[in-house]
Chains A and B, each alone.
Chain A
């Protein structure tokens, strides 16, 4: 699907959220992303309206690109839903637990296969999530049973402030690229993990 949203429009949305946060109109943590807008715009050209998307705690841009109107995304953020955005009409489920979206995504993919439907499941994860046991199990099960699912591995090389490679090495590059169920890309998040008014923000 192609919403026509540009890199600049996506970035502008995040900047608006920053302003709302600074003005204390949002009273929960928010997680912002930049630097991957072009990758996401390109990726969503392969995603259809009927596909399920399982996102993480940082999914403002993905929700916009899946077709949720910006005012709806903003309204949900203002209701303190930023880190677990769910929009049933757009088949979006997000989880603020690292790797928590992966097994749900596998179940959805299994349901599609059993019902002989034609849509697909896209499960978005980060580099630290990739190494968790639950994500490895989810990928492995999906490969062995050839489920209609793709894990989108977005590697920004850091988890909060912890450098992923210091603990897990460089395995992710080969492992994700070799998997028939993974798409891998690297990016650098333009929004640092900072605190504003004593509230955490990434």
Chain B
């Protein structure tokens, strides 16, 4: 079964598992102050690991790249793919390219959590339901894009994104349809 509660529970379980690691840190708007659906999945995490951000998507992702270069594994949270579009420069030109630019010397590992808006129970309208996973997967040379369509995929995907030792960053896309 991959019902709504199960999907949300797997997300919460994944966030809590990540939060147990000494080197993880969470950044995003609404993840501490609330107001977004994802906020529920951060409620049980120790507050010193959760950094509320202003609306500054590109700044946030670049900061995560910088944090990763000095030993952190940041989880950069975006409630909508449409919002992550605003971080395209840091995603495509920087996070994706640093290992190439530096001949493999720098391997920033960032975990990006993003969701595709759902049409039910209320329709968030066109600017909040975009899914650019395939387009970005085609554009990115090093960053992986992973679609999370069912609950069973969630925890293993986050575990792998964190434990992988090749320095590759991962975008985990919540595509759960209610």
A residues touching B (Cβ–Cβ < 8 Å)? 52, 81, 84, 86-88, 93-95, 97, 100, 102-112, 114-115, 134, 137-138, 141
Contact = CB atoms under 8 A, between A and B. Distances in A.
Contacts of B72: 111, 114
Given A86-B102, A86-B106, A134-B58, A107 B66 contact: yes
A97 B89 contact: yes
Contacts of A87: 105
A95 B92 CA distance: 12
Interface stretch (B6-14, B93-101, B166-174): B93-101
Interface of B: 25, 54, 56, 58-72, 74, 89-90, 93-94, 98, 101-103, 105-106
What are the 7 closest A-B residue pairs judged by CB atoms, nearest first?
Answer: A107-B66, A103-B62, A107-B63, A86-B102, A111-B70, A88-B105, A108-B66
B103 to A, nearest CB: 8
Contact of A110 (B63, B89, B90, B94): B63
16 contacts: A86-B105, A88-B102, A88-B106, A94-B101, A97-B89, A97-B94, A103-B58, A103-B61, A103-B63, A103-B66, A104-B63, A106-B62, A107-B68, A111-B66, A111-B67, A141-B59
A104 B89 contact: no
Contacts of B71: 111, 115
Nearest to B97: A84
A102 B70 contact: no
A105 B69 CA distance: 10
Contact of B67 (A81, A86, A94, A110): A110
Contact of B101 (A81, A115, A137): A81
Contacts of A111: 66-67, 69-72
A88 B70 CA distance: 11
A109 B69 CA distance: 11
A141 B54 contact: yes
